[in-house]
Amino acid sequence: MYRDQVLEIEPTGIEPVGDAQRHGSPRDLFGVWFSANAEIATWMVGVFVTSLYGTDLRSAIVGIVLGNVAGFGLLGILGTFGPRYGVPQMVASRLAFGRTGNAAPAGLSFLAGIGWFAINTVFGAYALQTIAGIGYFVGLAIMLVLQIALAIYGYNMIHAFERASVALLAAGFLLLGAATIAHANWSAPFNAHAPLANGGALAGFIYATALAFSYATGWVPCASDYSRYLPRATDPRAIWRYSFLGCAIPCIALEILGAATVSATPMNLGNALPTDAISHLLGSGIVAKLVLATVVLGTLTANCMNLYSGALAALVAFDVRVKRAIAAAVVGVVGALLATGGGHPRETAELYTNFLLVLSYWAAPWAGVVLVDWALARGVERDPERVRGVRAGFFAWLIGLAASLPFWNQAWFTGPLARAFPQIGDLSYYVGLCAAALAMWALETLRRRDDAEPARGELRAAAND
């Protein structure tokens, strides 16, 4: 009986969690999501908003708040799928996409998990290298072993580790926050000379909202992965509340601190290691080392979840019955190979920014489809395990992606509308989500009307008889 045993490897993969294994409280979700997001990559989102896009600090703050509220509001809703169906998020996604149609978004979720794992590991290895005075690849190896071990043990170990880390992470980032607040220029204006400040002040604000939203939606495809062991009778409102607050509080705080750090130091943070900025603000004493240790811990708390969810998504995408622990180890090795290329700070910063932007190009329309499917089917008992083929959600998702394409605006691709109107920044996330949601609503409405026609015909025939 696995149930709440922490020192036992989780036997459950992507199959439903049985009632005998259900345990826990929605309050646990606050610690899980807080620790996962109290990390240096979250802080770097804010850094990039002002250092790369030149956003003025006040607009950056508003954009960060709006993006996080929207993104994590979605995560809270999808987290309620956990106790209802007892399966990972990408399995529940079959209800909208069908088993075959769901393979594409599940595959992208798997790739996103690997990407996050690799990028976060790079930042953690930097910090460990600075603290211990060891080589980058030695620090990388240590980080990889710890993260893979946590992911192999699985759900209960991750929950216990995340909850135990909350106080340490909060204390460490409070030290960084105190130094930042003391030196930041909270009236910092728009920087037209920033590397990616192409569209002016308005575009900078839109990018701030988009980056925050993009980071948040990166977690949405795995929302129910960490609530699926909760008892079926768990209050959905409590799940939403603790998930939303656990994510939004650290993300809003750290992203604002990251945006403010650009004005607190003369360094070019878009071209530097995160550890260099911390050392510049805090020196090389014990306080700096404590903050760097927080960076290492935050990498572990985020990456064990990236790896865990990436492994689950891989099992869904390839529709295989490999043991979850084996899948976690394999995905960890693939992510490790990607992380070996992180020794160049500027290239890593650019890759991270572009990866963040690309991430929501598929995830935002996916979330729109799943959200509408959830709203239309409330109160209806459904089983994701019995779903087959391709459903309307797959086509609505493609429509959302196609609608967003002209608005893509980043280094790897710029759509025609974004190129013609650079001042609008990147609106693709919102366009994709709304277009997919509307398409899903329209397709499902038509399907239900068609399904109802034979029944109405039978009723009319019976009445005539």
Give me the pLDDT at residue 99, please.
Answer: 94
Rounded-to-integer distance, Cα 239 and Cα 224, Å? 10
Give me the pLDDT at residue 170, please.
Answer: 95
Cβ atoms within 10 Å, residue 167: 11
Give me the pLDDT at residue 352, please.
Answer: 65
Give me the pLDDT at residue 111, please.
Answer: 87
Give me the pLDDT at residue 183, please.
Answer: 84
Please tell me whether residue 271 adopts helix, strand or coil conformation. helix
Give me the pLDDT at residue 369, please.
Answer: 96
Topology at the third CATH level for domain 19-362: Hydantoin permease (1.10.4160)
Q: What single-letter amino acid sits at 96?
A: A
Return the biggest CA–CA distance within the chain.
91
Give me the pLDDT at residue 270, please.
Answer: 59
Burial of 337 (0-12, 13-18, 19+ CB in 10 A): exposed
Give me the pLDDT at residue 8, please.
Answer: 94
Residues sharing a CB contact under 8 Å with residue 263, sequence separation 6 or more, in sequence order:
50, 57, 184, 185, 186, 188
Rounded-to-integer distance, Cα 170 and Cα 347, Å? 29
Give me the pLDDT at residue 164, please.
Answer: 96
Name the pTM for this structure.
0.90
Give me the pLDDT at residue 373, please.
Answer: 94
**Blockwise average pLDDT, block size 10, the chain, 465 residues:** 92 93 96 94 89 91 96 96 95 95 94 84 84 85 92 96 96 89 88 82 90 91 96 96 97 94 74 70 81 90 94 91 88 83 61 68 93 88 88 96 90 85 84 96 88 60 56
Q: Which residues of 128-152 are buried (b: 16+ CB within 10 A; e: fewer)?
A: bbbbeeeeeeebbebbbebbbebbb
The answer to whether residues 199 and 424 touch, using CB atoms and an 8 Å cutoff, is: yes
Give me the pLDDT at residue 180, please.
Answer: 86
Give me the pLDDT at residue 267, please.
Answer: 65
Count how many residues are written for the chain: 465
Rounded to 5 degrees, what are φ and ψ at 227?
A: -125, 0
